[in-house]
Amino acid sequence: DSGRLHAVRGEIVHFLADPAERGAAALEHFADGLLILRDGHVAECGPAAELLARLPPEAAVADRRGMLIMPGFIDTHVHYPQTDIIASHGEELLDWLTRYTFPAERRFEDPAHAAEVAGFFCDELLRNGTTTAMAFATVHAASVDALFEAARLRRMRLITGKVLMDRNCPDFLRDDAGLGVEASRRLIERWHGRDRLLYALTPRFAPTSTPAQMQAAGRLFAEHPGVYLQSHVAENRAEVDWVAQLYPAARSYLDVYEHYRQLGPRSIYAHCIWLDDADRARMAATGTAVSFCPTSNLFLGSGLFDLAAAQAHGLRVGLGTDVGGGTSFSMLATLNEAYKVLRLNGQDLSPEQAFYLATLGGARSLYLDGRIGNFSAGREADFVVLDPSATALLARRNATAATLVERLFLLMMLGDDRCVAETWVLGQAAWRRDAANP
C-alpha cells in the first residue's frame, strides 16, 4: 500500500534543470541510489548508503540494483483514437487524415469502442514507461469520458479534451461552434481537477475550425484559468499554404492562434516545424509550449524540427509520440528519432538533453514541474525502472560503455519497451514486464 514509508534502490538519474542552460549540474546521478516514497509522493532521493542508515527498519526496500530508475516519461502529444491506425502506409498529413484518421475517429461514436481503446492505450503508455500524457480524444464527448475513466482507474496524471472541428472534415465528425463549446464546458466541470486529470480545449487545427469556433475556443480558454489548450501548428507545407488561404489576414499560421487568443501558459502546439523567428518570439513571450514529435515528422515526411532555434528563444519544449502519425509509443524510440532529426538539421542531441526532454522538459512544457518530472521531495512518485541490458545487443554494447552518458545514449538509440522493467504510478507498481511475460 502506498501510505507506508517505502523505498526503491537502484541507479537513479533525474534532472534538476535544463542541461542546455545548466550543463552537467542539471543532472543528478546516484550510482547506488535510494528513492524514498510516502503516500505516493517522493519523500527523499539520494545515495543509498546514507539514506538507508536512517530509514526506519519497518520501511520495505525494493531492490532494483542493476536497473536505472528515472522519472516517468511524459508524452506531450498523442492521439488515443489513432492507436488502431498506427503504421498506416503511404500518405502525407492531409491525405493521411482523410484516408485513415477520420474513418478511425468515426468509430468513437460507440462508447464501448472508446472504452476498449482507452484501456489499451493507457496500458500501452505504462508498458512504455510513460506515466503522463497530453492526448487528443475525438469530437465525441464520450471519447473524453472513456479516456479520463481509463486513466483514473490507473491513477495516472493525464490531460485530454474533446476535439473541436466544425469545417473541412466529414459530416460524421463535425460539431458546431455553439455545441462544441457547451460540450467542452460540461466536460471541464465533470473532469478538470478530478484526481490527477486535467482538461484541454482541443481545436484540432486552424483549418478544421471556422473563425466562429476559433473565437469560442479562445474565449473558453480565457474563461478557465488552469485549463489547457492543445492543437497543431506548422507541421506540413501544404497545411501551411492552406491556412494562408483560409486566414488571409494572418501574418503567419501561428498568428491565427494568437489572433483567437489561443496562446499562453498551458497552451501546447504539436510540430512547430515551419515557423519563423517572429513566431518563436511570440510563443516565448506568451509562455506557449512546443511538442516535438520526431517519429511522426519523419513518418509523414513533414519536416525537421529546429531545436536550436527553439532553445535560442527560450521556448518550453517537450516530446510527443503523436501516435498514430508517430510510429511508436516508446519515448526511447522517440529519442532515437529525435537524435536523427537533429543530425539532419546539423544539430546535436546530447543524451542528457534527450532524457531531460522526456521527463522534466515535458513537465515544464505542461506547467506541471511542481508535481512531476523529477525526484525533488514532494513530487508525485511516478517513475520507470529501466533494464539497461534488456536485449542481447544492449548487454553486449553496455559491457564496453564506460560512462553514464554513453549508457544513456545506448538506451535511447537501442532501447524501446523491452527496456521497461517496471512502471510505478503514485508510489505503486502499475506495470511489470516480468509479470506479463513470466
Q: Which parts of this chain interact with Zn ion (CB under 5 A)?
A: 270, 322
64 binds, among ligand GUN, Zn ion, none (CB under 5 to 8 A by kind): none
Q: Which is nearer to ligand GUN, 271 or 407 (CB)?
A: 271
Pattern of binders to ligand GUN over 231-250, x per CB under 6 A? Answer: -x--x---------------
At which residue does the C-alpha cell 520495505 appear?
60
At which residue does the C-alpha cell 541507479 appear?
11
Distance between CA 362 and CA 378 in Å, rounded?
A: 18
Q: Which is nearer to ligand GUN, 38 or 140 (CB)?
A: 140
93 binds, among ligand GUN, Zn ion, none (CB under 5 to 8 A by kind): ligand GUN
Burial class (CB in 10 A: 0-12, 13-18, 19+), 304: middle
235 binds, among Zn ion, ligand GUN, none (CB under 5 to 8 A by kind): ligand GUN
At which residue does the C-alpha cell 484559468 appear?
225
DSSP string of 192-241?
TTSTTEEEEEEE--GGGS-HHHHHHHHHHHHHSTT-EEEEEES--HHHHH
Residue 294 in 3-state DSSP? helix
Among positions 79, 155, 261, 364, the unique one binding ligand GUN when judged by CB under 6 A: 79
Residue 303 engages ligand GUN in binding (rule: CB under 6 A): no
- Residue 158 cell numbers, joined: 493525464
Q: What is the per-residue burial (b if ≥16 Cβ within 10 Å, else e) of 206-242?
A: bbbbbeebbbbbbebbeebeebbbbbbbbbbeebbeb
Residue 306 engages ligand GUN in binding (rule: CB under 6 A): no
101 binds, among ligand GUN, Zn ion, none (CB under 5 to 8 A by kind): ligand GUN
Q: Which is nearer to ligand GUN, 83 or 376 (CB)?
A: 83
Among positions 13, 35, 42, 93, the unique one binding ligand GUN when judged by CB under 6 A: 93
Q: How far is the CB of 318 from ligand GUN (least distance, A)?
A: 16
Q: For residues 320-349, which are near ligand GUN according to CB under 6 A?
A: 322, 325
Residue 437 in 3-state DSSP? coil
Q: By the criterion CB under 6 A, which residues form the site for ligand GUN?
A: 79, 93, 97, 101, 204-205, 232, 235, 296, 322, 325
